[in-house]
Structure 1
Amino acid sequence: MAYVTRPSIVLPEHEIPTSAIVRDIIDSLPPDPQLPSPAVINRWAVNLKVDTRRFVAPLEVVSRTGTVTGRNNHALPVMYRMATTAACDALDAVGLDRTDVDCVITSHSTTPATPGLDVHLVNELDLRPDVMRMPATQLGCVGGAHALAWAARLVDAMPGLRVLVVIGEALSTVYRRDKNDPAGILYRMLFGDGAGACVVSSDPRNACLEVRGSWQQVVPNTVDSYTLEVEPAGLHFTSEKWAPDGVNHLMGPLWEWLHKTDPYWVPEVVIAHPGGPRILEDATKGLGCAPELLTHSWESLRTRGNLGGVAVLDVLARTAVSAPPHGSRTLVLGIGPGLTGAAVEGRWHNPTTSQEGAE
């Protein structure tokens, strides 16, 4: 059985309110009547339900016209520092020595580098030179859930294995003033930067989630749903108009998997990727659960924006603070480019609540 510890989350120092981004978008729009009006842009901002987020640099730096190399060279060291700090915090929280780590799984899509975050962590944390490494650089928003699914399967196959999961993203690198189509404007207002880390092992101590199964899915013929392209002026993230509806394409296969071992399974704790309001609304409907079960996902979206692969770790950490009842049926669900989905299912692990209830 695999257990997941409460994730450690690290954010950059520069807090950027959505109001400042809206002003920057409107002030930098070229005089073109075909472009969205200020009133439309303000309405989009309200509908996104993101109040603020953190960036690796001040807005005036992030929004400055530059090159993909310049943007990456500025963001990559900050992402590395955030991810390293999150990893250290995650290990310290459970009392693990650096040499206790048997495997490290990493994901970062917005700061391309070779060697990547996995090799950086081996050196910065003084991990064992023979540590198993599983780096991913193309998972995007599904990275956190995908990494947890990988880690759980590894632990189930090799009991005693200690897996360090580390996700880092600097999504502010896709902030482009020259992208003024609806997608280009919306994603400037949606994304945030951050890093998160946790430990997955067969040790229930210090855990918040007991994993009983994992799931991955690729929806055929949806490769254009969300795309991240490298252009001379920077990274370009865009999506098809139907992409926010993507979670509905995953619900059928997800329920088939969930009911395979338990025909009566229903969620009691939901850790859903806060990719945007439409994704969370459709996840609520698709899971047939009370909207309150996604409260922490909505709060993550409101205060931190879409953190990409880090987002589900942030929601998992917030949920741990609220201390759900021990044994609650729990689902962690991620969605990302591809169109892809990943999930882990299990029971909330919080023995103290069951002991308190018995007193």
Structure 2
Amino acid sequence: MSHSPESARSPGTAIAPTLCRPSLWVPEHTITVDRTLELCRSLHGGHERLGTVLRMIENTGVLKRHLVQPIEDTLCHPGVEARTALYRREVQRALPGVVEEALRSAELGVADVDAIVFVSCTGFTMPPMTTWMINELGFRNDVRQIPIAQLGCAAGGAAINRAHDFCVAYPGTNVLVVTCELCSLCYQPTDSDVGTLLSNALFGDAIAAAVLRGRGGSGMSLSRNASHVVPDTEQWISFDVKETGYHFRLDRRVPGTMSMIAPTLRELAAHQGWDASALGFYVIHAGGPRILDDLSRFLGVAPDAFRHSRGVLADYGNIASGVVLAVLQRFFDDDVLPTGARGMLAGFGPGITAEVSLGTWTAPARRHEAAREAELTGVAR
């Protein structure tokens, strides 16, 4: 396990940049689990393990997913060139609003951003999308570009951790994190193995963004991070790259990986002097229900602690690197965590890789103002 630079600092001198409220965009087109089951029956009626696949789909916990195209278009494969053009067009159409909302939540403007971490495993552009953002959205020309393309679902946690490292290396700087996953553009009509059929029913499309402020702001103030690769699992989640693009491969052993990852989460918390089983909030990647069930069991955490992860899975499916930001957004929407609450953020993906952060909650200033006003009102009475 490797730790971020500030992990060697004493508690009194640690730098704690704050991860502010994320923004989330999902496309207008949707598909329900019932429609997914219907399509699986019609497209793969002769599959020898159809019954197993249908049961697995019903057990994902996914009720609805958002797609960048209508399902009829999604099921067609017009070629890599057409899909790449669609990826670029849709990202450039939706991204400005997502970025604007994230900056507004952080009470910053484009001129205040010193680096952009952009992660995506479902589309490829060069120059990276960060260059387009600098040219079209008004970011400074000296903004550091940090595109990450190959960490899949773990990339959301990795983006936050690399942003954290940047803020520690350059105190007072601000980093914009963007996750962009149009998973439906990786659909392959000719693939029918069980792992692929399950994935076709699990993944959804979304773009998310959040700002890590070097100073000030409210949200999750990060204190420590870690990365961990489970040995000899590099083929368990992968892309086969063929003439028709990316072909997703999912090994049946993946759902059981939490037994290998939970010790890393406990160790990281212990380095902080915390108990991983007794934190105030958990922002956990919702790769599927068994991932959450097993992690709950191995950490000794009540299932309700992962309620927002389950909620994101139900409403959007697995939106890959965007899951952790979507889950974090729900804690902001709850608006009940007290300042000082201890929490963990964890993303899991190819490798098998875990990217984990620890931090404490800083409640929005309005909460303190409201509490103080109520206290003064009570005294006056």
Fold match (TM-score > 0.5): yes
Describe how 1:115-264 pairs up with structure 2 within 5 A. Answer: 115-205=127-217, 207-262=218-273, 264=275
One-letter amino acid of the structure 2 residue matched with residue 331 of structure 1: M
Please tell me whether residue 315 in structure 1 is matched to residue 327 in structure 2.
yes
Contact (CA 8 Å) 1:325, 1:353: kept in 2 or not? no
Could you tell me how far 1:263 is from its partner in structure 2? Answer: 5.1
One-letter amino acid of the structure 2 residue matched with residue 14 of structure 1: H
Contact (CA 8 Å) 2:341, 2:361: kept in 1 or not? yes
1:347 match:
360
2:44 match:
29
Could you tell me how far 1:233 is from its partner in structure 2? Answer: 2.7
Within 2, Cα distance between the matches of 1:264 and 1:284? 14
Could you list the runs of 5+ residues in structure 1 that have no partner in the other structure?
Answer: none
* Percent identity for Structure 1 against Structure 2: 29
Q: Residue 103 of structure 1: which of 106, 111, 115 is its match?
A: 115
Could you tell me how far 1:321 is from its partner in structure 2? Answer: 0.7
Could you tell me how far 1:356 is from its partner in structure 2? Answer: 5.7
2:11 match:
none
Write the deviation string for residues 291-328 of structure 1: whole angstroms up to 9, x where unpaired: 11100000000010000000100000011111222211
Higher-Rg structure is: 2
One-letter amino acid of the structure 2 residue matched with residue 333 of structure 1: A
Provide the secondary structure at the position in 1 that maps to 2:257. helix
Contact (CA 8 Å) 2:29, 2:67: kept in 1 or not? yes
Q: 1:305 to 1:208 in 2, by over 3 A?
A: same
TM-score w.r.t. structure 2 length?
0.88
Write the deviation string for residues 229-277 of structure 1: whole angstroms up to 9, x where unpaired: 2222332111211112123211112211210230545321000001111
Contact (CA 8 Å) 1:83, 1:167: kept in 2 or not? no
Provide the secondary structure at the position in 2 that maps to 1:57. coil
Count of residue correspondences: 355
Within 2, Cα distance between the matches of 1:85 and 1:275? 27
TM-score w.r.t. structure 1 length?
0.94
Within 1, Cα distance between the matches of 2:105 and 2:331? 17
Provide the secondary structure at the position in 1 that maps to 2:340. coil
Q: Residue 73 of structure 2: which of 56, 61, 85 is its match?
A: 61
RMSD: 1.8
Worse-matched range after superposition: 183-192 or 108-117? 108-117
Provide the secondary structure at the position in 1 that maps to 2:59. helix
Contact (CA 8 Å) 1:108, 1:136: kept in 2 or not? yes
Within 2, Cα distance between the matches of 1:289 and 1:184? 31
Within 2, Cα distance between the matches of 1:83 and 1:314? 16
Describe how 1:275-354 pairs up with structure 2 within 5 A. Answer: 275-323=287-335, 324-350=337-363, 353=367
Contact (CA 8 Å) 2:237, 2:350: kept in 1 or not? yes
Contact (CA 8 Å) 1:86, 1:197: kept in 2 or not? yes
Provide the secondary structure at the position in 1 that maps to 2:171. coil
Within 2, Cα distance between the matches of 1:281 and 1:217? 21
Provide the secondary structure at the position in 2 that maps to 1:48. coil
Provide the secondary structure at the position in 2 that maps to 1:127. coil
Could you list the runs of 5+ residues in structure 2 that have no partner in the other structure?
Answer: 1-15, 376-381
